[in-house]
Amino acid sequence: MAEADPQKFLKGYGSDERPLAQVLWAREKFDPDHPVLKDASDFEPEKRKVDFSIYYDPKFAAAEQQAIWRKSWLYACREEDLPNIGDRTPYQVGKDSYFIVRTGEDEFKAFFNSCLHRGTMLCAKQEAGDTIRCPYHGWEWNIDGRLKRIPSHWDFADLNRNNASLPEVKLDRWGGFIFINADPDCAPLDEALSVLKSHFEKFEFKRRYTAGRFRKQVKANWKVTQEAFQEAYHLYATHPEAVPFTGDAQAQYDVWPGENGHVGRNVTPSAQPSMHAPADASAVEAAQMFAQAMVDWHYPGHEYPEFDPDKDLRLQAAEWHRKTIKEFYGRDSKIPDAAMLDSFLYFMFPHAAFWMTEAVPMTYQFTPHPTDPEQAFFEVRLMLPCPEGRETPPPAELVELGPDDSVFENVPPFGFLGFIFDQDMSNMPLIQKGAHAANPEESFTRLGRYQEQLIQHWNNLIVDRVAELDG
């Protein structure tokens, strides 16, 4: 194994035949000035050892609840989940629970999920109607949170419509997504979104619908679960089937830090072989394997395309994908050719992730378990384009999966990606158990300087904020 120069900061590993992401993007024809191709960050996180205890220590998890989850903008749900006035849904994050209500045609509110009487949870499942009613003693509120009725009100003379409204939490929206923040003094959502607004503008999340959705309980800490997706480095060992047509070593990583928001991304080129693939891996085969995967998942029944080996293969694959989207959905995709192929995966601190690509258009949420720091929940949505000139399908029902349930076997809309998720999830309990098994004198991570920079920065932020709480 060749020794790496510790002083040299290598931003990926590519070749003339298998270029880095930035080299590929320089060939863009459709929209060469799109910000996802032009914007790059020079920020490098401070290199620190991350102690394994942050993945299992109950005291650290309790501090996270205060310092992170109650002080951040959290991706809670989508507007389409609440199509009618009065529709409401609970949102659980660790020990905290909230619920979101559609209060008007284009209005939403979020409340603490606790009755003002004796604390009973007011919304335990998806509900509807013009009255929020406590199941215990029947106290009632209007959907805007104003007190409506207290049975035996004579015994609660100190409570009235002026002082017994449901306490609200901050709510804001972007791209059809609903975010909440329990901190009354929080900065605006726009600051937390950072580059997401400009980078995703032409992706038009507002004109997409949830075509598949699952929430899986995971036998690992929420950070362990999220970190599995913050780097492409694991592809070679965990997803070997993807190596012939996915450029994991050639991926681009960026972190945009801010005073009130942090966004990072990893962008993995597709339709080209990995640097880990055998020397005889063909670029033609890589482009065809990509297209075949898209047909099998997104466009069943469509013929597999054939690409001319003497012409730009990625350009051919991107043009084919753009044309196929038009055929299936009756609308044009406005994103660059690169995003027709490559996996642009953006993370918004602390727990949300959004894919800006027609190849795998999804969103992620990673949230802690209410009582066990060694478990978490991983929620995924498949966000397909709303068809032009046809009625948009209703959002898919949420499929709840236990720790041992297969995504591939139980959530058909995700196709072959269900198998990929199952591979990822198989690692989770091993990572969690291994954190306990480490030599006590070396119980910390050793992170890559470039490929794992999102993990480094996220953990630096979390550890620092918890320390501020303790300090």
Please report the domains of the chain, with CATH numbers, ordered by start residue. Answer: 21-58+194-470 (3.90.380), 77-181 (2.102.10.10)
Maximum Cα–Cα distance across the chain: 85
The DSSP symbol for 89 reads E
Instruction: Reply yes or no on whether the pLDDT at 447 is more than 90.
Output: yes
Q: What percentage of the chain has pLDDT greater than the value 70?
A: 98
DSSP string, 345-384: EEEETTTEEEE--SSS-EEEEEEE-SS-TT-EEEEEEEEE
pLDDT band for position 10 (cuts 50, 70, 90): confident
Instruction: Reply yes or no on whether the pLDDT at 121 is more than 70.
Output: yes
Are 65 and 73 a contacting pair, CB within 8 Å? Answer: no
Residues 6+ apart with CB under 8 A from 75: 177, 178, 179, 348, 351, 352, 363, 365
Q: Terminal CA-to-CA distance of the chain, rounded, Å?
A: 44
Going by C-alpha positions, the residue among 276, 274, 278, 256 that lies closest to residue 265 is: 256
- pLDDT value of residue 7: 54
Are 15 and 281 a contacting pair, CB within 8 Å? Answer: no
Neighbours of 7 (CB within 10 A): 5
pLDDT digits 0-9 by tens, 157-183: 999 999 999 999 999 999 999 999 999
How far apart CA 252 and CA 245 sit, in angstroms, is 16
pLDDT digits 0-9 by tens, 234-251: 999 999 999 999 999 999
- pLDDT value of residue 319: 97
pLDDT digits 0-9 by tens, 57-81: 999 999 999 999 999 999 999 999 9
Backbone φ and ψ for 76, nearest 5 degrees, come out as: -100, -45
- pLDDT value of residue 469: 86
Helix ranges restricted to H, 137-280: 189-193, 196-200, 222-227, 235-238
Report, as an integer, the average pLDDT of 282-311.
95
Q: Which residues pair with 108 in a beta bridge?
A: 102
Query: CA triplet 369, 47, 51: central angle to 5 degrees?
Result: 40
Q: Give the CA radius of gyration of the chain.
A: 23
- pLDDT value of residue 1: 44
Beta strand spans in 38-129 (E): 74-78, 88-93, 96-104, 107-112
Average pLDDT, the chain: 96
Q: Tokens at residue 351, please?
A: 């727990």
Three-class DSSP category at 132:
strand
- pLDDT value of residue 470: 74
The torsion angle over the Cα atoms of residues 18, 22, 24 and 28, rounded to 10 degrees, is: 180
pLDDT digits 0-9 by tens, 183-236: 999 999 999 999 999 999 999 999 999 999 999 999 999 999 999 999 999 999
Instruction: Reply yes or no on whether the pLDDT at 3 is more than 80.
Output: no
Q: What percentage of the chain has pLDDT greater than the value 90?
A: 96
Three-class DSSP category at 296:
helix
How far apart CA 95 and CA 369 sit, in angstroms, is 8
DSSP string, 278-295: -TT--HHHHHHHHHHHHH
Q: Which residues pair with 266 in a beta bridge?
A: 253, 345
- pLDDT value of residue 187: 97
Length, in residues, of the chain: 471
Q: Tokens at residue 49, please?
A: 């050892």
Instruction: Tell whether pTM > 0.75.
Output: yes
Neighbours of 300 (CB within 10 A): 8
Burial of 161 per CB tally in 10 Å (0-12, 13-18, 19+)? exposed
Instruction: Reply yes or no on whether the pLDDT at 452 is more than 90.
Output: yes
Q: Tokens at residue 293, please?
A: 């995967």
Report, as an integer, the average pLDDT of 360-385.
99
Q: Which residues pair with 348 in a beta bridge?
A: 263, 352
Going by C-alpha positions, the residue among 263, 259, 335, 324 that lies closest to residue 293 is: 324
Instruction: Reply yes or no on whether the pLDDT at 259 is more than 60.
Output: yes
Instruction: Reply yes or no on whether the pLDDT at 285 is more than 50.
Output: yes
How far apart CA 159 and CA 144 sit, in angstroms, is 18
Three-class DSSP category at 231:
coil
How far apart CA 213 and CA 210 sit, in angstroms, is 7
Q: Tell me, what amino acid is at 450?
A: Y
pLDDT band for position 443 (cuts 50, 70, 90): very high
Instruction: Reply yes or no on whether the pLDDT at 336 is more than 50.
Output: yes
Are 360 and 344 a contacting pair, CB within 8 Å? Answer: no
107: alpha, beta or left? (left if phi > 0; alpha if psi -120 to 50) = beta
pLDDT digits 0-9 by tens, 390-435: 999 999 999 999 999 999 999 999 999 999 999 999 999 999 999 9
- pLDDT value of residue 4: 53
How far apart CA 86 and CA 197 sit, in angstroms, is 29
